[in-house]
Amino acid sequence: MQESTIAPVRARAAGPTTTPGRPRPEAPAPAHPAGALGAALEQFDRAADHISLDPELRAILRQARREWMFSLPVRMDDGRTEVYTGYRVQHNLSRGPAKGGIRFHPQADLDEVRALAMWMTWKCALVDVPFGGAKGGVACDPLQMSPREVERLARRFATEMAEVIGPERDIPAPDVNTNAQVMAWMMDTLSMHRGYSIPGVMTGKPLEIGGSEGRGDATGQGVVYCVEDAARRIGLPLAGATAAVQGFGNVGEAAARLLAQLGVEVIAVTDIGGGVVAAGGLDLAALRDRARQTGSVAGAPGTFPITNEELIGLDVDVVVLAALDGQVTGKNAGRVRARILAEGANGPTMPDADPILRANGVTVIPDILCNAGGVIVSYFEWVQNREALFWTLEEINDRLRRVILRAADRVWRRAADDDIDPRLAAQAIAVERVARATAIRGLYP
């Protein structure tokens, strides 16, 4: 009998090898480097083991499809030239064009961008938007740069990526230390090169140039939809519940504000400059103004200082992680007292922390689900740009809610059916989808 043209994604127990006479390759021995890439690979290997992924598909999906590294000389305001390093990694394109943010951060490096690109692949697949995964980064400290210097860096990066990105190829978005203005500069640069406006090349743009209603708050809004859903599942009433939020940028500020609108008392917030706690709840609007003016929430009147470590161990109902990766590890996971740990950031929990959190009954909303609101509304923005027809905020939020809660429902059901933690459930669903798409497309040539 001829084999199905739709290749199986599960390993065959026995049977024909792909090349007659040659043994079928064994799954590569897991080698997990340190940091975000190690975490991403370890999570992938767990999911691949759980679904008994075909070893050849495992080998394909374990590696990025394409990687670029750019040297980015930038003229600084004082006339000096500073040379930065930029990265773009496309992890997988089987389900559509590459999609993923660009971060400007001193710690950005190739391995971190590889991990973030891989997580984007799983995230897009989990919420079923027709994109592959990518990520970009520049190793720089934009907090020490003037707006004009950041603009020159953004435009130089966009120029180096001119052949890589495009609405049909690879569509960047904001991430840590980049925002709608940075997207506008990059979109303008690309459009100037081509000679006509290409709004669909970037998402997370300002409304005035083809951005979408609701994109600014989308990731935080998605976090809050997921928290509401998880709270309902564990019987936690949100009105009157308490929360702590690590990171007070695009994701953290919106999540805190939208949680407060549901009656949650946000009692602690940290950011790069420090943290604040107030037992009776924080004045979030005042914190937002302070962060805008001084660069940090630290020292806000009527609050006490708090560190990231202390925030993670606070006796609150919900902790939202919305800063960087690697925050909850095997060392501090046992101190988490929250009932819900919502991963607004990418990779905030290391693999050695997961079993501890599970054993302690902490409901973890895994990053590829919890923070997917951003890419879902980016998808809506890209669709609106293609159609040149724009939706209302109500339409956006209604669609966002339906898409993210459908994915959440699949994750919780899979976790219950297979008796696994929600991260493994989310990864298993996503890896299966990407593996299936990769197998159906087949190997070229």
Q: Sort strands 274-277 and 304-305 into parallel, antiparallel or unpaired.
A: antiparallel
Question: Whose Cβ is closer to ligand NAD: residue 64's or residue 298's?
Answer: 298
- Among residues 424, 400, 423, the alpha carbon closest in space to that of 220 is found at 400
The answer to whether 272 contacts ligand NAD (rule: CB under 6 A) is yes
Measured CA angle at 297 (ends 296, 301), to 5 deg: 135
CA distance 4 to 180: 46
Q: For the chain, what's the residue count?
A: 445
| 99 belongs to the catalytic site | no
Q: How far apart are CA 228 and CA 259, in angstroms?
A: 9
Residue among 357, 349, 307, 354 nearest 325 (CA) = 349
Beta strands in 80-211 (DSSP E): 81-92, 98-104, 132-139, 170-174
The catalytic residue among 99, 123, 135, 205 is 135
Q: Which of 134, 323, 338, 368 binds ligand NAD (CB under 6 A)?
A: 323
Q: How far is the CB of 331 from ligand NAD (least distance, A)?
A: 16
State how far Cα 6 lies from the chain centre: 30
Of 155, 154, 170, 163, the residue nearest 194 (C-alpha): 163
Place of tokens 């993670």: 312
If the CB atoms of residues 58 and 105 are measured against ligand NAD, the closer one turns out to be 105
Which residue's CB is nearer to ligand NAD, number 51 or number 344? Answer: 344
Residue 59 or 110: which CB sits closer to ligand NAD? 110
Compute CA distances 342 → 61, 214, 287, whole Å: 26, 20, 21
- The structure tokens listed for 389 are 């027809």
250 binds ligand NAD (CB under 6 A): yes
What would the x/- binding string for ligand NAD be over residues 115 to 154, using CB under 6 A? ----------------------------------------
Q: Applying CB under 6 A, which part among 184-192, 333-341, 343-351, 381-389 lies near ligand NAD? A: 343-351
Q: Is 271 in the site for ligand NAD (CB under 6 A)?
A: yes
Using CB under 6 A as the binding rule, the residues of this chain from 154 to 193 that contact ligand NAD are 174-177
The answer to the question of residue 374 lying near ligand NAD (CB under 6 A) is yes
Smallest distance, ligand NAD to C-beta of residue 53, A: 26
CA-based nearest residue to 177, from 251, 99, 103: 103
- The residue from 200, 249, 366, 422 that contacts ligand NAD (CB under 6 A) is 249
- DSSP structure string for 228-288: HHHHHHHT---TT-EEEEE--SHHHHHHHHHHHHTT-EEEEEEETTEEEE-TT---HHHHH
The reply on whether position 246 binds ligand NAD by CB under 6 A is yes
CB of 142 to ligand NAD, least distance (A): 9
Rounded Cα distance, 399 and 384, in Å? 13
Binds ligand NAD by CB under 6 A, chosen from 219, 221, 385, 438: 219
Distances from the Cα of 355 to the Cαs of 182, 328, 334, 358, 424, in angstroms?
A: 39, 12, 10, 5, 11
Among 92, 270, 363, 385, binds ligand NAD (CB under 6 A): 270
Q: Which residue is nearest to ligand NAD (CB)?
A: 249
- How many residues bind ligand NAD (CB under 6 A)? The answer is 24
| Shortest Å, Cβ 149 to ligand NAD | 17
What minimum distance in Å lies between the beta carbon of 207 and ligand NAD? 16
Q: Which of 43, 90, 308, 363 binds ligand NAD (CB under 6 A)?
A: 308
Active centre residues (catalytic):
135
> Which residues sit at the interface with ligand NAD, rule CB under 6 A?
174-177, 219, 246-252, 270-272, 308, 322-324, 344-346, 371, 374
